[in-house]
Structures are given as C-alpha cells and as structure tokens.
Amino acid sequence: MTLRNLVLMMMPLALVAAQEQKPAAEAKKEEAKKEESAPAGEKTWSGWVEAGARWRSDVAGSMDAYRSIVNLTGGFRLPSMDVSYQGAHKLLKTMRLTSGNWGDPFNTARLELSDEKYYRYASRYSNLLYYNFLPSFANPAAPAGYSLRSYDMNMRNFDHELTLLPNERFTPYLRVTRNWAGGRGITPLVVQGNEYALRTDLDWRQQDVVGGVRMNFTRSHLTIEHGSTDFGDGQRIFNTEPMRGSRGNVPVLGQLLSLTNGNQLYDVDGSSRITKVLFTAHPYDWVDLYGQVLYANPKTFSNFNQALAGSLYSTAPGLLFYSSGKDTVYGDARRPHTTGSFGMELRPVSRLRVREYYETDRQKTDTAGAFEAAFLKNTELAATIRNSYVDRLETSVHRQTVEALYDFSRKFTLRGGYRYEWGNALIRAGSLSITGPQERLEMQRHIGLAGFVARPWQKLTLNGSAEVSNGVKTYYRTSLQDYYRMKLNGRYEIRQDLLMTVVYNRMENKNPASGVDLEFKSQNTSVGLQYMPGGGKWVTVIADYNRSAIQSDIGYLILFPYQQAQSLYRDIAHTGMLLADITLPGSGVFKPKLTFGGSYVTTDGSRPSRFYQPHGKLSLPLHRNVHVFSEWRTYGYNQPSIFSYETFRTNMVMTGVRFVL
C-alpha cells in the first residue's frame, strides 16, 4: 500500500471527525453569541419612569427663608427615571439613563453607554438652583436694617468622559467638564459713608478638557493626564433709579448723599494647564508602591471698572465731595501649584503591614496690579489717585507618616503610628496697608496615631481610632494645635433581622498660648437601628438618633470701645431620623407599598432652631407595568429667638404614575 492510498483511506475518517467537532464548536459559539446579546430571561429594555404633579400649599412665614432652604415648587415633575438597555448593537451593548427631580430646582441626569470591547462613555449633568436670602447670620439688625449679598442663580455641571478600550494594557480617555453658574442677586455697593443695595448679574464658568492614558502592566500601573482649564468670573452691579442708600436722610457735613447712577463691571479671565502622573507598583509580594504628582498653573487677568454719579464724598484724596467718579483696576495673578505623594506598604511578615507615606503641597501666588481713581465735580477733574502694587503668597505643607498594622488574629487588628506635619507660609501681614510687611509663618505638629479593629464574634465589629497632636507652631489662632481626636464605631447584629450601629466621635483642640486661649470641643454620638425581618421582604425600618455638641471659646479685643470680649459658640443638636418601608398584603405583583419617615432636628445654643421634614408615600400597582403613587411632605423651620422672622412651614402633595419597562 502506497502512502497515497493510506492517506486517501484516512480522509473520510478525518472528515467524519471534523463533522463531529463542528456542531459542538458552532453550538458553543452560538450560545456565547446569544448570551452576549441578551442573557436568557433578561429584557432588552428595563427600568422605570416616574411622572407626576405636585401641589404645594402657601408658604406660611418667610418665603425667602423657604426658598433658601427647601425651594420645592408645584407643577408637573419627573421625579425619577432609570432606564437600561442591553442589546447586541454593533457599537452599543449597554446603555443606562438615570435622572432625578426634573422640574425641581435641583435636577440631575446621567447617561452611560458602553461596549466593553471598545469603549465606555459616561456623561453627568446637574443643575442646582442656588437661592440665598438669609441676612440674619451677618446683620443683627435685619430685617429692619440693611441687607447683604443675596443670590438667585443656577449652578450647572456637565461632565463627559470617553474611555477607549483598545486592549488591556492601554486605556486612553478624554474628559470634558463644564461648570457654569449664573443668575442675579443683590450686592451692596459700598461707597464711603453709604451703602446702596444694587442689582447684580453673576456669571462664572469653567471648562476643563483633559486627555490621558492609563497604562496597565502586570505589576504596575501608570496614568498620565494632561489638559487645560479655562475659566471666567463676571459680575455686573448697576442701579436703575436714584437711591439714598442706607444712610437715608442723615447728612454728612450738611450734605445729603445719593447715588443716581452706579455701574460696576468685574471681569476675570483665567486659564491653567493641568498635569497628573499617577503610578502604582507591586514589584514583589511583600511591597506595594504608590505615587502621584499633580500640577496646575492657574493664571488670571482681571479688569474692574466702576462709574458712579450722584452726591458722593471721599476722604482718600483729602475730604472731597464729588458728583461722579471712575475707578479702573487691572490685575494679574499666577499660582503654580504642585502636589505630590509617595507611599509604600511593606509586609515583612503576613500579619504585619507597615505603611509609610510622604505628602507635599506647594503653591506660590505672584500678583501685580494697577489702580486709578478719578473724582469729578460736575465735569471737572477734582482729584486723581494712581497706584500699582505687587504681592506674593507662598505656602507649603508636608506630611510624613509611618504606621504599622498588626493582625493579632483574624478578629483583632491593632495599629499605631506617627505623623509629622510641617510647613511654612509667606503672607502679607501687619495692617491694611498695601505696603505692609511680609511675614514668614511656620507650622509644626507631631501627631501620634492609634487604632484597633475587633470582631470578637461575627455579630459584633468594633472599630476605634485616635490621634493626638502636640503642636509646636501653627499659623492662626483657631488652627489645630494641641488636639486629640477619637472615633469609635460599633456594629452589632442583635438578631438576624436587627442590626444596631453606634458611632461616637470626640475632638478637642486647645491653644493655651497667652493671647490665644483657644478651647474647642466637639462630640457626636449616633445610634442606629435597622430592622429587616425576612430580609426586608415586607418590612424595613431604619431609625437613627444623633446628638452633636460643639463648644468653642476664644478671646478677642474690641478696640472701640476698648474691651476684652469672648467669642463663645455653642451648638447642641438632636437629630431623629426614620425610614419605614412596608409592603402591604396583596396578590401577586399587586402589593401596595407604604413608605414613611423623615427627620427632625432641634438645635440649641448660639442659634436655636427647629427643622422638620416628615414625608409619606403610598404606591399602588395597577398593572404589572403601571403603579400609581401619592406622596405627602411637610417642611417646617423656625428659630425661636431673635431670628424668628426667618421661619416657614408648608405642605405638599404629589401624585403620579410609575411606568415599569
């Protein structure tokens, strides 16, 4: 038999074998394909959309306080949405869109698209209305007296990040972040001897464009990121009618003051380069290395123009009454800012971990500016002031920490360590004079660290930590000096369906140096219970109580009239929170759900206040895919003290439908 014949004989056998192999391989491929596209039993679209309408009762009390604290309004709303898509499209395997509180003054949305073989895209959006008109914190004479800055503006953030996944070693990404805030408000225009509350238009914005690449190696990782920031801050203050200002009809040297025309334009533009280098490494099983360097060099160019007309006076060029004035200021500031850290974890034996890390933060601000003020009587120039200045601010902070963690057993870990913090700063000090001296400050603290984690039995976990500082030098009177801080967390599973958590924090900071005499204490105790019989299938109750107390004493000197004074601050807050979730009896999916709870906060001390926000919600399934719900909320705030004019109370009801996909 020739070789050829032998081969020809074996061919059919090979073909049969190949046929036998083929269906198995194909079936496997098809199965994988099916799984990839839509896992068995999983819908392509899933999630829900909630829509409804809210009715709000009239706000009893201060509408400004209500808008500053709660600010919910009535009307059509999209309270929440969470829609997911899982499919087999060539470039879109998963999509998720979530959003919350559409129609309310603070709403958010998030969109994620991905195909884990090629890319991942996430986009976030938030829009928060910021309304603040609560003058009491600054002006003891409010509301009869004069007010201060107030705001009615929107703050919007957009964030987009696209990550490409070409392979597992290199992951390039691009991120664009845009932050914008704009709106209006009131700003007091302060002119010598008088203040005028003027309308303000505000507009600030910032945009970051950053690209980077993550490099993954078997035992290390490196991320390099570079990009730029552009930002601007614009503010315009203006009046539309003649004003007497806070002085009213009280004359200055026999002359009434007024403002007939005021315009202030404040424009700041800036840019910055951003660089980040991050790395981690695991060269051996007993050592991990971490490091990062972050660098930015923001620069700003500012331009300020003010034009005033009316009956005004100034003492700056000597006592002068003038009818119009113009100020022009140019400024230039730059601040290179470098932050870095390097750390390692060593595991010389299996139970011991030694961590050592160093952090540094350095920034230097160099600035220059020029100022010109012109005072006119009618149309004639009466006086001019010109000035130019340069300034510098330097700060650097460093921290070196070494810490050891030892596992005595699987149930008990003890840690201890030492941290040394030091830094210095160069600041302009001494007086309000532009040419005042510069002062070099130093900061030095030695801090002892300790902590433990105990799990004496599986149902109980205790976690404690403490740090004690011996401050040698510090920057400011109220800064941390000789302090200790301790924290204790406990979790105890009383029964399988009942969990208790306890948190206790305490901190004291003292600076006994003569002329300072700072004493600060804060304490926080929190107890929480979580009851979930049957894994929370029917009932879930979460209840928390918290007591926090702050006490701060520090002396100061009042020059006019000359007297010693003490700044005492006391704040004792009790907070109760409850969340109950009850599934009522029903058949199949038609089980109504009742949710109720809320919180009550009462504070005593320097600013007594009560704030409560109870709520309840009933959800009724009408169909597998349609649920109706009705929600009730009450908000109440009062300050039983001199600030009682800043109180409010309101009720609201919302009814809507949840469509389940």
Partner 1 sequence: MPWTRFTQTKSEYLGGGLREKVFPCSAVSREIRMIRLSRSAAMVTLAVFFVPAWLSAQESQLPKGYIGSESCAACHDEVNTSFQKNPHNKLTTTKWRGMQERACESCHGPGAKHAETNEAGDILNPAKMAAGAADKMCLSCHRNSRTNVGAIQNGHARSAVSCTSCHTVHKTGQESSDVQFRTAAGVNKKCASCHTNVWASFQKPHRHRVPEGAMACTNCHNPHGSILARNIRTANAAEPGCFACHSDKRGPFVFEHAPVRTEPCSTCHEPHGSANPRMLTRHQVANQCLECHSNIVSPTPAGIAGGVPPALHDMRQPKYRNCTMCHQKVHGSNVNRGLLR
Which residues inside 48-107 make contact with partner 1, applying CB under 8 A? 68-69, 82, 96, 98, 100-101, 104, 106-107
> What gap in Å lies between CA 572 and CA 567, rounded to an integer?
17
Among 45, 170, 284, 556, binds partner 1 (CB under 8 A): 556
Two structure tokens written together for 353: 């971990």
**Closest CB to partner 1 among 401 and 583?**
401
Q: Map the footprint of partner 1 across residues 114-133, applying CB under 8 A.
A: 116, 126, 128, 132
- How many whole angstroms separate alpha carbon 402 and alpha carbon 448? 10
Tokens of 559: 């020059």
- Calculate the alpha carbon distances from 152 to 67, 71, 202, 600, 606 in Å: 9, 11, 9, 27, 28
Beta bridge partners of 193: none
Residues 361-380 that bind partner 1 (CB under 8 A): 361, 363, 365, 367-369, 371
Residue 515 DSSP class:
T
Residues 262-281 that bind partner 1 (CB under 8 A): 264, 266, 268, 270, 272, 274-276, 278-280
Q: What are phi and psi of 239, to 5 degrees?
A: -120, 160
Residues 387-426 that bind partner 1 (CB under 8 A): 389, 391, 393, 395, 397, 401, 403, 405, 407, 410, 413, 415, 423, 425
Distance CA 149, CA 156 (A): 21
By the rule CB under 8 A, 186 interacts with partner 1:
no
Q: Does the footprint of partner 1 cover residue 108 (CB under 8 A)?
A: yes
- In the complex with partner 1, the residue whose CB is nearer, 311 or 413, is 413
Q: Residues 295 to 314: which contact partner 1 by CB under 8 A?
A: 295-296, 298-300, 302, 304
Query: Phi then psi for 242, rounded to 5 degrees?
Result: -60, 140
Nearer to partner 1 by Cβ, of 63 and 138: the residue is: 138
CB 190 within 8 A of CB 226: no
For residues 426-445, which are near partner 1 according to CB under 8 A?
Answer: 427-432, 434, 436-437, 439, 441-442, 444
Contacting partner 1 (CB under 8 A), which of 56, 64, 67, 229? 229
Binding segment for partner 1 (CB under 8 A), chosen from 186-194, 253-261, 581-589, 619-627, is: 186-194
Give the Cα separation of 420 and 402 in Å (integer).
9
Q: Taking CB under 8 A as the criterion, which residues in 14-53 touch partner 1?
A: 14, 17-18, 21, 35, 39, 42
Q: Are 81 and 47 in contact (CB under 8 A)?
A: yes
Cβ atoms of 391 and 437 within 8 Å: the answer is no
CA 572 to chain CA mean position, Å: 25
Beta strand 593-605 pairing with 194-216: unpaired
Q: Binding partner 1 by CB under 8 A: which of 123, 154, 263, 292?
A: 292
Stretch that binds partner 1, among 315-323, 557-565, 617-625, 649-657 (CB under 8 A): 557-565
Q: Is 286 in the site for partner 1 (CB under 8 A)?
A: no
Task: Please list every residue from 486 through 505 that binds partner 1, using CB under 8 A.
Answer: 489, 501, 503, 505
Residue from 73, 154, 341, 583 touching partner 1 (CB under 8 A): that is 341
Residues 615-634 vs partner 1: string with x where CB under 8 A?
A: --------------------
Cα dihedral sign for 29, 35, 40, 46? Answer: negative
Residues 144-163 that bind partner 1 (CB under 8 A): 145-146, 148-149, 155, 157
Is position 551 an interface residue for partner 1 (rule: CB under 8 A)?
no
Q: Would you say 145 or 379 has its CB closer to partner 1?
A: 145
| R_g (Cα) of the chain, nearest Å | 33
Q: Is 561 in the site for partner 1 (CB under 8 A)?
A: yes
- For 109, the token pair is 């949305």
Minimum CB distance to partner 1 smaller for 310 or for 423 = 423
503 to 542, contacts with partner 1 by CB under 8 A? 503, 505, 511, 513-516, 524-526, 528, 530
Choice from 249, 378, 458, 587 touching partner 1 (CB under 8 A)? 458
Q: Which of 258, 263, 400, 463 binds partner 1 (CB under 8 A)?
A: 463
Relative to beta strand 539-558, strand 518-531 is antiparallel
Q: Which residues contact 484 (CB under 8 A, 6 or more apart)?
A: 466, 467, 468, 469, 507, 508
The minimum distance between CB 381 and partner 1, in angstroms, equals 22
How many angstroms separate the CA atoms of 16 and 9, rounded?
Answer: 12
# of chain residues touching partner 1 (CB under 8 A) = 197
CB 91, CB 67: distance < 8 Å:
no
CA angle (337 as vertex; 305, 509 as ends), nearest 5:
100
Burial of 272 (0-12, 13-18, 19+ CB in 10 A): buried
